[in-house]
């Protein structure tokens, strides 16, 4: 009886933790970790990963209770540990970026659209708490013109006290397909770089930003 269960377990092993989803989660984590700004939240992927993790956890518990070969159980546990590590790392690096650029992420429509609903709540709470702390400890003791959390003074035309991601940061990337990229801003002398499949480049992030969002390029 046990041997039949073991055989069934081996046959179902690949379906319990989708290899493609694990690779997609690894890609999302690497891109998020290497990008200077927060990227689009991979909601569907995160949800599938959570469901697969729950399924493997239930399977491991069932196999342990039924005395399945410990080697089979250890294989499932290794797969589970890998998926949990990737998921936690992906979510953690996003939270770190939210904390670092909380005001920017909330005032920029583009950045805010990339956050999940839970991340928006987290960012709002962080911003409110930080603003309250600054006001109570420092700002209310300064002249009225210097009591803004976002500006150096009321005469400032922009929110010059808000940290923003440095999009000119250089990143290492690999092309997944043939890509032609413009190296300069609009209005400057046009010059392009052509990346073949598998090419590695050390290049400014804002040049490859669109290609990363479309899935043509991965960060390393």
Domains, the chain, with CATH or none: 166-219 (3.40.5.60)
Note the pLDDT of residue 189: 57
Could you read off the pLDDT tens digit of each residue along the chain, which spans 220 residues? Answer: 333 444 444 444 444 556 688 899 999 999 999 999 999 999 999 999 999 999 999 999 999 999 888 999 999 999 899 999 999 999 999 999 999 999 999 999 999 999 999 999 999 999 999 999 999 999 888 988 888 888 888 888 888 889 999 999 999 999 999 999 988 766 555 788 899 999 999 999 999 999 999 999 999 9
Question: What is the reported pLDDT for 1?
Answer: 33
Question: Tell me, what's the pLDDT at 188?
Answer: 59
What pTM was computed for the model? 0.84
Six-digit token pair at 140? 């209310």
pLDDT of amino acid 20 = 86
Report pLDDT for 17: 54
Residues 6+ apart with CB under 8 A from 93: 29, 32, 33
Q: What's the pLDDT score for residue 219?
A: 97
Q: What is the pLDDT of residue 68?
A: 87
């Amino acid at each position: 009886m046990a041997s039949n269960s073991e055989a069934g377990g081996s046959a179902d092993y690949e379906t319990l933790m989708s290899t493609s989803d694990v690779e997609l989660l690894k890609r999302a984590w690497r891109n998020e970790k290497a990008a200077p700004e927060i990227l689009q939240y991979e909601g569907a992927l995160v949800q599938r990963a959570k469901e697969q993790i729950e399924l493997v956890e239930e399977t491991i518990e069932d196999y342990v209770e039924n005395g399945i070969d410990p080697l089979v159980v250890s294989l499932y546990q290794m797969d589970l540990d890998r998926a949990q590590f990737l998921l936690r790392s992906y979510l953690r690096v996003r939270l770190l970026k939210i904390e670092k650029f909380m005001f920017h992420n909330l005032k920029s429509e583009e950045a805010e659209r990339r956050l999940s609903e839970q991340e928006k709540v987290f960012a709002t709470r962080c911003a409110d708490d930080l603003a309250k702390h600054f006001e109570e400890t420092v700002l209310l003791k300064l002249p009225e013109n210097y009591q803004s959390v976002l500006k150096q003074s009321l005469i400032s035309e922009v929110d010059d006290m808000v940290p923003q991601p440095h999009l000119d940061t250089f990143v290492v990337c690999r092309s997944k397909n043939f890509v032609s990229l413009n190296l300069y801003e609009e209005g400057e002398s046009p010059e392009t770089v052509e990346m073949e499949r598998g090419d590695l480049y050390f290049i400014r992030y804002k040049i490859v930003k669109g290609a990363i969002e479309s899935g043509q390029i991965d960060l390393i």
